[in-house]
Amino acid sequence: MRHRLPALVAALWWGSLTTIGFLVVPLLFAYLPSPSIAGNMAARLFAAQTWVAVACCLVLLLIARPRHAVAQYPWAQGAMLFVLGGLLLALVNQYGVAPRIVARQDLRLWHSVGTVTYMLQWGCALAVFWHTLRQDAVLIQPEVNPDKV
What confidence score (pLDDT) does residue 3 get?
84
Q: Residue 122 has what pLDDT?
A: 98
The string of DSSP codes covering 103-114 is TTSSHHHHHHHH
144 lies in a domain? no
Q: Give the range of the structural domain holding residue 65, as residue numbers without chain letter.
A: 2-137
Query: Is residue 56 in some structural domain?
Result: yes
Separation CA 98–CA 72 (nearest Å): 34
pLDDT, position 143: 43
CB count in 10 Å sphere of residue 42: 21
Report if residue 8 sits inside a domain: yes
Residue 82 lies in a domain: yes
Contact criterion met (CB below 8 Å) for 86 and 57: yes
Split into its structural domains, the chain has a count of 1
Per-residue pLDDT of the chain (149 residues; tens, 9 = 90+): 678 999 999 999 999 999 999 999 999 999 999 999 999 999 999 999 999 999 999 999 999 988 888 889 999 999 999 999 999 999 999 999 999 999 999 999 999 999 999 999 999 999 999 999 986 655 444 344 555 55
Task: Tell me if 145 is assigned to some domain.
Answer: no
